[in-house]
Amino acid sequence: EDKVVQSPLSLVVHEGDTVTLNCSYEVTNFRSLLWYKQEKKAPTFLFMLTSSGIEKKSGRLSSILDKKELFSILNITATQTGDSAVYLCAATDSWGKLQFGAGTQVVVTP
Amino acid sequence: GAVVSQHPSWVICKSGTSVKIECRSLDFQATTMFWYRQFPKQSLMLMATSNEGSKATYEQGVEKDKFLINHASLTLSTLTVTSAHPEDSSFYICSASRTALNQPQHFGDGTRLSIL
């Protein structure tokens, strides 16, 4: 059975801290790994990773995929209160279907 | 970037009513759109894959007669919750990606459905 597991489920950090979110996956016919940020509405796209070992960066966020070990991490440096959200990891199969993890709730305190 | 519009954003209606939710890709064509359901404090669960010009593919446990999906054009998919009951109350979200392979899915803003 396909599954995507995220850890931790939640964490609280102070502004300026760095957080690392983990995502492991077991998906038949895996094609890509995606990270989304969800605040009050629907998820917003952060990264899509298809190749192992190539880091993707966007501002203070970065992510990398390890296809041998079947996991990905999302890093957020110099966190701000606006980074508070649920971060969702999802894996796609060859049909493009997304299998989501349970999410990691990040709370950044001032 | 890709924009997906979902309407309405909030619906409150009586039990037994049918509710239609629209999902539009505004600046790209999408042969495939996806419908998800999300309960509070839980992750998104895929309900069905909407295919333009053909029948939708439903995930196990999702009643196709309850959740009617129509994908009549490359930019519009609709989900109709028929004879809705309080247990159908949830957050419904659609997503779409560009027709080309390996493009990320972008989500609409979601529809919060409350059945009284």
Highest averaged pLDDT of the listed ranges A53-57, B27-31, B49-53 = A53-57
Q: What is the pLDDT of residue B101?
A: 62
Contacts of A101 in chain B (CB under 8 A): 43
Question: Residue A62: is its pLDDT beyond 60?
Answer: yes
Asked if A94 contacts A107 with a C-beta cutoff of 8 angstroms, the reply is: no
Asked if B97 contacts B110 with a C-beta cutoff of 8 angstroms, the reply is: no
Q: What is the pLDDT of residue A42?
A: 83
User: CA torsion sign, B29 to A103 to A40 to A109?
Assistant: negative
Joined tokens for residue B98 = 């560009």
CB pairs < 8 Å spanning A and B: 49
> By CA distance, what is B45's nearest residue in A?
A100
Confidence of residue A78 (pLDDT cuts 50, 70, 90): very high
Question: Residue B1: is its pLDDT beyond 60?
Answer: no
Q: What is the pLDDT of residue B3?
A: 87
Contacts of B32 in chain A (CB under 8 A): 96
Tell me the percentage of chain B whose pLDDT exceeds 70: 96
Asked if B33 contacts B95 with a C-beta cutoff of 8 angstroms, the reply is: yes
- The tokens 């990691």 sit on which residue? A104
Question: Residue B29: is its pLDDT beyond 60?
Answer: yes
Q: What is the pLDDT of residue A26?
A: 95
Question: Residue B99: is its pLDDT beyond 80?
Answer: no
- Which residues in chain A belong to E strands, given as ranges? 3-7, 10-14, 19-26, 30-38, 44-49, 56-58, 61-66, 71-76, 85-93, 98-100, 104-109
Does B43 contact A101 at a Cβ distance shorter than 8 Å?
A: yes
Confidence of residue A23 (pLDDT cuts 50, 70, 90): very high
User: CA torsion sign, B44 to B47 to B48 to B50?
Assistant: negative
